[in-house]
Amino acid sequence: MLIAYFPAYYVSHNDLDVFAYVRDFFTVEGWPVGPPWFLWVLFFFNVLFVLVNPIVQKYKSKVNVLTDHFSSKPTLLFFVLVLLTWIAYVPITYYVGAGTWIGWLPFDFQLSRFLLYFVYFMIGVLIGNTGFNEKLFSKSSGIVKKWWLWIILSLGIFGGLVISSFYLSEMVKNNQIKEFHALMISFSLFVLSCVSSCLAFITVFRKFAVRNIKWWNSLSENAYLIYLIHYIFVVWIQFFLMKYELPAFVKFAITFVFALALSWITSSLLRKIKVVKRYL
């Protein structure tokens, strides 16, 4: 992140002093971690899983039966995920606020979503212990067959979430609705958006992804490292585009294409190093 945030420092201070920037990064800014903040959270979840793994193994057969049951009942799966997501997200978000972050130095995390992330982590762990490619998310399962429905739902609900945020805010200001009710509507729409989007992405990839396409396999292999380094290219490309008077969408398109391409190329080159490829 030291490399990624330098353009922001330069714009704010008009200063190219690298040592001053490094000092500011660790002291004044408190070591901003950027997108990789989630890595330490995943490591922490892995530690927690080690503690509960004996219980998971004990009930593994029952989990298999349960996931097999859901494979033919997509609607039931959707509502179960909505219920779990709502419980994990809405109560804590109401009390601490949706945008509340907490932590120490690079160990930051979004407090409102910590339990939500852990619930989904555990769902992934449980499903990962089953033959999900052959049953729950097989191309013949009811869930994957409804891929078009999840796309419609995800786009429709996300659109409703974006539009409603403005109207709910205005209604609260005009005393047309209580703030509590507005928050519950907004949080619930967010939950529905999360679940439908997750199902949409999973089922579309399961339906249409082809494993024998070389570039597709390369993207899959490099995805994790692309995630780790993409922010560097995103920020620097935006920085270089600042002096050009271009429509926002054009800048977005340029940034997206070049950041993805450069991250992908860099990842491919780094993974030629044995120790990098072994872990990343």
* Domain tally, the chain: 2
- The DSSP secondary structure of 58-76, one letter per residue, reads HTHHHHHHHHHHHHT-HHH
pTM of the model: 0.78
Residues 195 and 259 occupy one common structural domain: no
Q: Give me the domain span that covers residue 199.
A: 37-209
Residues 204 and 227 occupy one common structural domain: no
Measure the CA–CA gap between 179 and 159, rounded to whole angstroms. Answer: 21
Cα 129 to its chain centre, rounded Å, is 22
8 Å CB contact between 199 and 150: yes
Residues 126 and 259 occupy one common structural domain: no
Residues 79 and 47 occupy one common structural domain: yes
Question: Which tokens in the block code for residue 277?
Answer: 């490829």
DSSP letter, residue 138: S
Cα 38 to its chain centre, rounded Å, is 9
pLDDT tens digits along 28-40:
777 777 777 778 8
Measure the CA–CA gap between 191 and 157, rounded to whole angstroms. Answer: 10
Residues 189 and 104 occupy one common structural domain: yes
Cα 35 to its chain centre, rounded Å, is 10
pLDDT tens digits along 100-141:
877 777 777 888 888 899 898 888 888 877 777 777 788 888
Residues 205 and 215 occupy one common structural domain: no
Measure the CA–CA gap between 42 and 259, rounded to whole angstroms. Answer: 25
> 147 Cβ partners below 8 Å, 6+ apart?
200, 203, 204, 206, 207
Residue finishing a domain among 209, 238, 267: 209
Give pLDDT tens digits along the chain (280 positions): 778 888 887 888 888 888 888 888 888 777 777 777 778 888 888 888 888 788 777 777 777 777 777 878 888 889 999 999 999 999 999 988 887 877 777 777 888 888 899 898 888 888 877 777 777 788 888 888 889 999 999 999 999 998 988 888 888 888 888 888 888 999 999 999 999 999 999 899 888 876 678 888 888 889 989 988 899 999 999 999 988 888 999 999 999 999 999 999 999 999 988 888 887 7
